[in-house]
Structure 1
């Protein structure tokens, strides 16, 4: 079954689905700045566009582009900035 997710007043939307390896979501982040909390380990893969990310424990923003990925441990939070819409795949492992 496919689930829908809507965050930050509709500025971030995703579709969730289950795979043999675990839950995944595909979605779009609209222009803006957002902070996400994690309950599971997350692997974020940029499908299209660019996303600036402030990972837990870091003082420096890092830019991730199409085809690049970053990981976020469970029980933490991370911040993102998008100057235009960004498509992503998030794997919860």
Structure 2
């Protein structure tokens, strides 16, 4: 059984993701263009940088931190976080 893939677009098509459900749960795989963004969470999110880098200000932190390819950060549910993207970056976001 094949489920349809859902494509999401945010910030005037500057961030796009494709949602998927599999044995690991619900995830999105996406790409962010160069820019600055603020995201809100409804579930805990595990963000892994696949290619490029994200500079992130987490809700519990005072300082910005850069996450590069292979790095993971977690944002709890019902939080907002800010992201700066200096080169087009791909990510995997797993929801829990």
Q: Place the TM-score, normalised by the shorter chain, in its bin.
A: over 0.9
After TM superposition, the score normalised by the length of structure 1 is 0.97
Structure 1: which 5+ residue stretches go unaligned? Answer: none
1:24 match? 27
Structure 2 residue 24 is the aligned partner of structure 1 residue 14: no
Q: Which has the larger radius of gyration?
A: 2
TM-score, scaled relative to structure 2: 0.94
TM-superposed deviation, 1:43: 0.2
Task: Give 1:9-88 correspondences, 5 Å limit.
Answer: 9-88=12-91
Following TM superposition, the consecutive aligned residue runs of length 4 or more in structure 1 with deviations greater than 3 angstroms are none
Query: Deviation of residue 20 (structure 1)?
Result: 2.3
State how far apart, in whole Å, the 2-side matches of 1:84 and 1:20 are. 31
- In 2, Cα distance between the equivalents of 1:78 and 1:32? 14
Q: How many residues align?
A: 93
Q: Secondary structure in 1 aligned to 2:12?
A: helix
Structure 2 portions without partners, runs of 5+: none
